[in-house]
Amino acid sequence: MKELRQQIHKIDGWSCYQSSLYFISSEKKSWTESRRYCTDRGADLIILNNREEQEYLKQVPGGTDVWIGLTDSDVENTWKWVDGTNMTSGFWRDGAPSDSAGDKDCAINLPSGFADYSCKKTFKWICEKNTS
């Protein structure tokens, strides 16, 4: 598996941390387009499971100001990860989520924590693929 991970890393820009492979984009797309990019490659937008993973992203070039796999587009103010699980412990920045108009249904990861934005805005994104 280690050999495979190194091979993937060398081939198309995926990097490994803990039991996941990550791809950080260099272009910008909407949340939906970003998610489609990931799912077309057998991955999905990143799910941040713990503080360590969020800290890891701060150290990686391009690991912040990116779309993550978190949305409340189904039920307003009920934030869910792309795998359908409820967000139980979020790392929101101060004052977020701040969606009073109901149009900020997708989340990005900033150095200060998560922030909610319109899904139509364009940001870079991170795909995550579990290796276990």
- Domain annotation for the chain: domains and CATH numbers: 27-127 (3.10.100.10)
pLDDT digits (tens, 9 = 90+) for 20-77: 899 999 999 999 999 999 999 999 999 987 888 888 888 888 888 999 999 999 988 8
Is residue 124 scored above 90 in pLDDT? Answer: yes
> What was the pLDDT predicted at 101?
67
- pTM here is 0.86
Tell me how far apart the alpha carbons of residues 115 and 100 are, in angstroms, rounded to a whole number: 13
Helices then strands, counting H and E runs in the chain, come out as 3, 8
Residue whose pair of structure tokens reads 């990116």 in the numeric block: 66
> What was the pLDDT predicted at 29?
98
Taking alpha carbons only, the member of 103, 96, 98, 129 closest to residue 118 is 103
